[in-house]
Amino acid sequence: MGDLVQITSRRALAKPAPPVFDPAELDLPPSPMPSRLPGYLALHETGELARRAEAAWELLRGCTVCPQNCPVDRTTGRTGACHSGEEIIVGSWNIHRREEPPISGTRGAGTIFFGGCQARCLYCQNFWLSQMGKGIRVGPERLAEMMLELQRKGCHNIDLVTPTHFVPQLLKALVIASDKGLHIPMVYNSAGYEHLHTLRLLDGVIDIYLPDAKYADNREAMRTSKMHHYVEYNRMTLKEMYRQVGGLQVDRYGIATRGLIVRHLVMPNGHAGTRDVLTWIARELGPDIGLSVMDQYFPAYKVHGDEELGRRLTWREYREALDVVEDLPFENLFLQEDLTEIDTTADV
Is 171 a binding residue for ligand SF4 by CB under 6 A? The answer is no
- Phi-psi region at 329: left, alpha or beta (left = phi > 0; alpha = psi -120 to 50): alpha
Q: How far is the CB of 63 from ligand SF4 (least distance, A)?
A: 3
Q: How far is the CB of 80 from ligand SF4 (least distance, A)?
A: 2
**Pick from 17, 49, 56, 66: which binds ligand SF4 (CB under 6 A)?**
66
Is 191 a binding residue for ligand SF4 by CB under 6 A? The answer is no
Please report, as a single letter, which amino acid is at residue 68.
Q
Q: How far is the CB of 61 from ligand SF4 (least distance, A)?
A: 11
CA distances from 109 to 31, 96, 158, 187 (A): 12, 5, 6, 9
Which residue lies nearer to ligand SF4 by CB, 130 or 157? 130
**Contacts to ligand SF4 from residues 26-65, by CB under 6 A:** 63, 65
Which residue lies nearer to ligand SF4 by CB, 126 or 178? 126
Is 120 a binding residue for ligand SF4 by CB under 6 A? The answer is no
Query: What's the CA gap between 210 and 256, in Å, rounded?
Result: 11
Residues 6+ positions from 324 with CB-CB distance below 8 Å? 274, 275, 278, 279
Q: How far is the CB of 81 from ligand SF4 (least distance, A)?
A: 4
Which residue lies nearer to ligand SF4 by CB, 67 or 110? 67
Number of other residues whose CB lies within 10 A of the CB of residue 308: 14
Query: What's the CA gap between 277 and 267, in Å, rounded?
Result: 12
In the bound complex, which residue of the shown chain has the CB atom lying closest to ligand SF4?
80
Number of other residues whose CB lies within 10 A of the CB of residue 9: 12
Residues 6+ positions from 306 with CB-CB distance below 8 Å? 122, 299
Q: How far is the CB of 237 from ligand SF4 (least distance, A)?
A: 14
Is 162 a binding residue for ligand SF4 by CB under 6 A? The answer is no
Q: How far is the CB of 215 from ligand SF4 (least distance, A)?
A: 18
**Contacts to ligand SF4 from residues 245-274, by CB under 6 A:** none
Q: Are the beta carbons of 82 and 66 closer than 8 angstroms?
A: yes
Which residue lies nearer to ligand SF4 by CB, 68 or 162? 68
E strands, the chain, are 4-7, 88-96, 109-114, 136-138, 158-161, 186-189, 208-209, 249-250, 256-265, 290-294, 332-336
Which residue lies nearer to ligand SF4 by CB, 193 or 297? 193
Is 227 a binding residue for ligand SF4 by CB under 6 A? The answer is no
Which residue lies nearer to ligand SF4 by CB, 166 or 209? 166
Question: Which x/- pattern over 68-107 shows residues binding ligand SF4 (rule: CB under 6 A)?
Answer: xxx-x-x-----xxx-x-----------------------
Size of interface with ligand SF4, in residues (CB under 6 A) = 14
Query: What's the CA gap between 6 and 26, in Å, rounded?
Result: 23
Q: In whole angstroms, what separates CA 142 from the centre of its chain? A: 22
Would you tell me which residues interact with ligand SF4 (CB under 6 A)?
Answer: 63, 65-66, 68-70, 72, 74, 80-82, 84, 118, 165
